[in-house]
Amino acid sequence: MHLSVVVPVYNEEDNIVPMIEALKEALKDVEHEVIFVDDGSHDDTCKIINETATKNVRLVQFQRNFGQTSAMAAGIDAAKGELIATLDGDLQNDPSDIPMMIEKLEKEGLDIVAGIRANRQDGRFLRKIPSKIANMLIRAFTKVDITDYGCTLKVFRTSIAKQIELYGELHRFIPVLGHMEGAKIAEVEIKHHARKFGESKYGIGRTFRVVSDLLLMIFLSKWRQKPMHLFGTLGVFMLIGGGLIETYLLFIKVLGGDIGGRPLFYVGILLIITGVQLITTGFISELLMRTYYESQNKKPYNIRDTYTAGKSDSKTTSTAKKKKAA
């Protein structure tokens, strides 16, 4: 299987048939499967998928609504293709862009190709402006220069997609998570259409949630494998600051001064206590990270390829498998 198309859907009954037809037409020259992930729809979305499905269309149905990130993660887990494409189920993304994105990924040796919604067909104040602000913040703090983080249409190599750990609402940070795994990423402009059926599931509140998720991304990208460098450094500075303050006050006390009523005395005590707590948090975080890697047999690195006598081992293995299959 060359391509798996993952489509999260939630109450999209009117879009299912046009989506299946559009995918069939766009990917007629590509060996593919389509994986719809129903995120707890209350309408006839699942029924229509099953009634319309051909042999290469699969449905993963959630028991309740878990959110778009979980739906995308479930689709990626179920994917069998060498490549994975993700797109929204509202037909605003155009499936006809997928072959072009696959070609770019394969020709340039990329791991992820992300779409940029050209001439975006959404409301300016509730969708476009908040999205631009969110994109600007993410670029500034993560240093991953992606124009349109909110565009769901992306193509991945399965090897990278299955390494990315999606939870919460981190689907918009897939390029950042991919970058953390060492992925080569590029962008390409894609078509974007106005929604014809159903209602948008996004609102202005989504922008505020991005800020909290962004803080998590900053932490993960910089200190995921070395949390003690963050908590320990802050803790040491606070201990030193509190210690200097209390030493100064002790000197004044020895000279006969009164320090019991000084706010500075309590500031010093607070800094010392906070410093100890931060250092302790650093130790606990380091133990948690060690448990995380060892319990799941994970490595703190990813190998793109290995070479023997100047030849790629992965290409040699792939060629041998093809000859065996033939």
Does residue 175 share a domain with residue 153?
yes
Instruction: Find residue 8's DSSP bridge partners.
Output: 37
Confidence of residue 10 (pLDDT cuts 50, 70, 90): very high
Burial 22-61 (b: 16+ CB within 10 A, else e): bbeebbeebebbbbbbbbbbeeebbebbeeeeeebbbbbe
Which residues have a Cβ under 8 Å from the Cβ of 256 and sit 6 or more positions away? none
Looking at 193, 223, 253, the residue that finishes a domain is 223
Torsion, Cα of 183, 188, 189, 192 (10° steps):
-50
SS3 48: helix
- Based on the domain organization, do 280 and 207 belong to the same domain? no
On the question of pLDDT at 298 being above 70, the answer is yes
70 within some domain: yes
Asked whether residue 279 is assigned to any structural domain, the reply reads yes
Average confidence score pLDDT of the chain: 86
77 and 208 share a domain?
yes
Do 197 and 285 share a structural domain? no
- Give the residue among 186, 181, 273, 198 at the shortest CA–CA distance from 235: 273
For residue 244, the model assigns a pLDDT of: 96
Q: Which residues pair with 60 in a beta bridge?
A: 37
- Domain identity same for 257 and 154: no
pLDDT at 294: 83
Q: Which one, of 1, 25, 150, 46, lies nearest residue 95 by Cα?
A: 25
Q: Which of 181, 200, 223 is the last residue of a domain?
A: 223
Of 112, 177, 151, 154, give the one whose Cα is nearest residue 6: 154
Residue 312 domain-assigned? no
pLDDT, tens digit, 9 for 90 and up, residues 86-121: 999 888 889 999 999 999 999 999 999 999 988 776
Q: Which range among 24-28, 122-126, 195-199, 288-292 shows the weakest confidence by mean pLDDT?
A: 122-126
pLDDT at residue number 83: 96
What pLDDT digit, counting tens, does each position of 125-177 carry?
556 777 787 778 888 888 888 888 888 899 999 999 998 888 878 888 899 99
**Distance, CA of 281 to CA of 285 (rounded, Å):** 6
Beta bridge partners of 112: 156, 185
**Per-residue confidence band for 261, with pLDDT thresholds at 50, 70 and 90:** confident
206 with 280, same domain: the answer is no
> Domain check: are 215 and 271 in the same one?
no
Can you give the pLDDT at residue 316?
55
Residue type, 283: F
Considering the domain architecture, whether residues 95 and 27 belong to the same structural domain is answered as yes
Tell me the one-letter amino acid at 162. Answer: K
Choosing from 223, 241, 273, the residue where a domain stops is 223
CATH code of the domain covering residue 104:
3.90.550.10
Q: Are residues 25 and 89 in the same domain?
A: yes
Are 153 and 256 found together in one domain? no
**27 in Cβ contact with 98 (< 8 Å):** yes
- The answer on pLDDT for 284 being more than 60 is yes
- Helix (H/G/I), strand (E/B), else coil: 217: helix
Predicted pLDDT at 245: 94
State the Cα angle at 62 between 60 and 67, rounded to 5°. Answer: 110
Residue 153 in tokens: 């249409």
Task: Give how many domains the chain has, as a whole number.
Answer: 2
Q: What is the CA radius of gyration of the chain?
A: 25
Identify which of 164, 6, 166, 165 has the alpha carbon closest to the alpha carbon of residue 81.
Answer: 6
pLDDT tens digits for 218-260? 888 888 889 999 999 999 999 999 999 999 999 988 888 787 7
**287-294 average pLDDT score:** 87
Residues of the domain holding 183 = 3-223
Dist. CA 7–CA 172, nearest whole Å = 15
The 10s digit of each residue's pLDDT in 205-217 is 566 677 788 888 8
Does residue 317 form part of some domain? no
210 domain residue, yes or no: yes
Mean pLDDT along residues 16-40 = 94
High-pLDDT (> 90) share of the chain, %: 52
Domain shared by 218 and 253, yes or no? no
Whether residue 47 is found in the same domain as residue 182: yes
